[in-house]
Amino acid sequence: MARKRRTKASPELLSRNVEVTSFSARMGIRAEHPRGGEPLIETGPWLELRGRLDAPVKEVSDVLISMFPEDKVRVGTRQPVSVGSIIALKPEMSVVLTWAHRDFDRLWSFALSRRLGFAYLCFTTPRYGKALVVSASFSTEAED
């Protein structure tokens, strides 16, 4: 007798507006000597936004969005495809996003001009404190 195939249901997507309450910007430099390779120096900026969700997710309302640039941005391999991840849900929702350098520079200047007031996140339902971020946007006004 043939087994019935289970069809995978599409993951449920949640969306939240975030009111950005503060940000911090960092620059770092480090030396690295990979095994069997040439020594190199890596530099890079890092931007962190803190805020509050417009509706709690599993009783959590505070959010930390960490962003940094990559030379080659990769799309997540799991379904649905993603632009970032939620890596922890407690004590605050911790989101990590990577950007292409050019786009990150625009976001960096947007934050430093103190005009970045809101974010919009669309993500899968968190499971064991982790989820995939499908889309993110940042603006001066909250999205409807």
CA-based torsion, 16, 107, 133, 81: positive or negative: positive
How does pLDDT run across 96-131, given as a tens digit for each residue?
999 999 999 999 998 888 889 999 999 999 999 999
Average confidence (pLDDT) over 52-68: 96
Of 50 and 3, more confident? 50
How does pLDDT run across 65-97, given as a tens digit for each residue?
999 998 887 776 678 888 999 999 999 999 999
Residues with Cβ within 8 Å of 18's Cβ and at least 6 positions away in sequence, in order, are: 49, 51, 52, 53, 54, 63, 65, 118, 119, 120, 121
The reported pTM is: 0.84
Whether residue 98 contacts residue 70, with contact meaning beta carbons closer than 8 Å, is answered with yes
Dmax (CA) for the chain in angstroms is 66
Q: What is the pLDDT of residue 7?
A: 60
Beta-strand relationship, 84-88 and 60-70: unpaired
